[in-house]
Structure 1
Amino acid sequence: MPPFFSSKSPKAFPLIISFFISFGALAQQALPKGQALVFAYFKGNGQDGLHLAHSQDGYTWSALKKDSTFLRPTVAKDKLMRDPCVIRGKDGLFHMVWTVSWNDKGIGYATSKDLVNWSAQQFIPVMQHEPEARNCWAPEITLDEKTGTYLIYWATTITGKFPETQSTADKAYNHRIYYVTTKDFKTFGDTKLLYEPGFNSIDATIQRDGKRYVMILKDETREPAQKNLKVAFSNNLLGPYGKASAPITGKYWAEGPTAIQLSKEWLVYFDKYTERKYGAVRSTDLKTWTDVSDQVRFPAGARHGTVIQVSQKELDLLLKQ
């Protein structure tokens, strides 16, 4: 150990304490005053529903309600609530979509004003028209703030599509990202292809970065194995998105990305599902990435979810549950 940090040095402990106080202060400054972060996630197979955790710095997360469910799934044949995506809508409500089954042709949807009390759940049959569709996985919502239109997108395998990337591995799934648009979650546009990256892809999430949009998605290729996260950019929410980048995650399998910008720093969280824990990478320019998985702490068993910013008042209500 260098002399600066030697336990024999009388200056060591004040300096170390000062360092951690300064680091904590910097972390707190990343969030506006009176704001907090909430992470929506599932556990197990998603059978018990929505779980929530909170954080003040984006690195240390604590489960809410003793890690019990905030909403139990009631729709679709399998009644699962996997991969919950929650955003705040233009109407001030929280809108949530989720995976209802491993092999259904629709997704779940519900709203809430406070993340505690939820509307009746709905099943949206986004791929019901497609006879060869096998599934609808990991739906997400992104709001076009200029038009007030919501983009709902997810991954589906349509048997016979994209034969150039077809494999017999992973039950022969060969996903691409599809979407619908809506302004009111009552009427929806036609289902269309959102992104064809040239590989089996799932778990897309889209964030606005100034005047452009960044899509973070999983390369699901099994042979040879990729199982990593990549990014692609577009000047428009509906695309076209450019060529996917090199992997931004390391030599481990990662999925279920969710991202947030804190001050000038982007944090992308993801499920290191083969290791049964959460990881993260950070960047200031969305080009150069640093793995900070050893710095984040999530509730045990947390799976694919989304991060959202809430007010302290909203968090106080959640803390009372």
Structure 2
Amino acid sequence: MKTGLLSVGLSLLLGACAASKDVYLFTSFHEPANEGLRLLYSYDGYQWQDLNRIFLTPQVGPSKIMRDPSIARGPDGTYHLVWTSGWKGDKGFGYASSKDLVHWSAQRFIDVMSHEPTTVNVWAPEIFYDAPSKQYVIIWASTIPLRFEKGIEAEDNNHRLYYTTTQDFQAFAPAKLLFDPGFSSIDAVVVPRSPKNYVLVVKDNTRPNRNIKVAFAPSPTGPFSPVSAPFTGNFTEGPSVLALPNKEWLIYYDAYQEKRYGVMKTADFKTFTDVSNQTSVPQGHKHGTVFMAPRKTLKHLLRSASAAPAATTSTSGTHE
């Protein structure tokens, strides 16, 4: 009886998917980050379901973990994944690619900060394809002790944002400083609004703030304006931004002290409306990226998930 119900449920999901346009996918991981890539899906950007399967187990970096997975789909349909591969000691991030999000290339460790030998970490790499420049931009946060003005954070927790670019994932431009707002900043995402209008959504990691702000620039690599006032409360991180069909955006973020996901809606990244009570995010979901995929990709993912053992769930975590 249970098998029959699962088959009916899968058929209904596949039928709904076939009748819809492209769907939203949300990369995810669960603490303690040793399992690997999870994926959520949504038809409207508000209500999310967990595919409840591990799609890629981390194999690179000394710690062999996967935190903060971020995916961008290129113009040829290939999905490119980057992730945090260690808390401290890593000078790069993990990378793999896929045509269908089920079968993946060999994993690689992309070293981006070895030219700075005192680099403490490479955190939360975020990738997107910049159509005007026809290249991928990857940004992350790193600490280089004694390099920047220090707040009350320890020198090994005083982050700034860096970036690299690539067209083929074989050659990467030398890492450059992306953003120094004068304080420790992590968990950044660049949102392209038009060819000369980009928004940086970033966590102010200073104590006692630890909240999320925005800045603006004419290109994905700056120069960025001074950051705004925060649009979230304190103890928030991991912003993820998705575009709605009506030219509005949803910004998902982890309100980790309250153990919930918050969501803000905006049309201009200057005024924000809390729509958290209109959304649903599965328990245990952590910092990821929202991207669009064709309905046939979700159909394939659903079939793959139904044929695989269910993933376990953990809700413990650590925050900086």
- TM-score, with structure 1 as normaliser: 0.85
Instruction: Find 1:88's aligned residue among 70, 73, 88.
Output: 73
Paired residue total: 284
Pairing 1:109–2:92 present: no
CA distance in 1, matches of 2:211, 2:151: 18
Pairing 1:44–2:28 present: no
Pairing 1:215–2:226 present: no
Pairing 1:153–2:139 present: yes
1:113 counterpart letter in structure 2: K
- Which runs of 5 or more structure 2 residues have no equivalent in the other structure? 1-15, 305-320
Higher-Rg structure is: 1
- Tell me the residue number matched to 2:59: 74
Is the Cα–Cα contact under 8 Å of residues 46 and 280 in structure 2 kept in the other structure?
A: yes
Instruction: Find 1:281's aligned residue among 264, 269, 280.
Output: 264
SS of residue paired to 2:106? coil
SS of residue paired to 2:94? strand
1:72 counterpart letter in structure 2: T
- Tell me the residue number matched to 2:252: 269
- Tell me the residue number matched to 2:308: none
1:150 Cα deviation from its structure 2 partner: 1.3
CA distance in 2, matches of 1:293, 1:278: 7
CA deviations over 1:260-304 (Å, ceiling 9, x no partner): 110221101111122222111011121100112222211110000
Pairing 1:129–2:112 present: no
- 1:157-176 equivalence runs, <5 A: 157-162=143-148, 164-168=149-153, 172-176=156-160
- Tell me the residue number matched to 1:205: 189
Pairing 1:190–2:177 present: no
CA distance in 2, matches of 1:51, 1:288: 32
- Tell me the residue number matched to 1:246: 229
- Tell me the residue number matched to 1:178: 162
- Tell me the residue number matched to 2:310: none
CA distance in 1, matches of 2:215, 2:48: 28
CA distance in 2, matches of 1:48, 1:277: 21
Pairing 1:258–2:240 present: yes
CA distance in 2, matches of 1:71, 1:275: 29
SS of residue paired to 2:200? strand
Poorly superposed stretches of 4+, deviation over 3 Å: none
> Could you say what the CA RMSD is over the residues aligned between the two structures, in angstroms?
1.6
Instruction: Find 1:234's aligned residue among 178, 194, 217.
Output: 217
- TM-score, with structure 2 as normaliser: 0.85
Q: Which structure carries more relative contact order (alpha carbon 8 Å, separation 6+)?
A: 2
1:36 counterpart letter in structure 2: V
Is the Cα–Cα contact under 8 Å of residues 151 and 206 in structure 2 kept in the other structure?
A: no
2:134 counterpart letter in structure 1: G
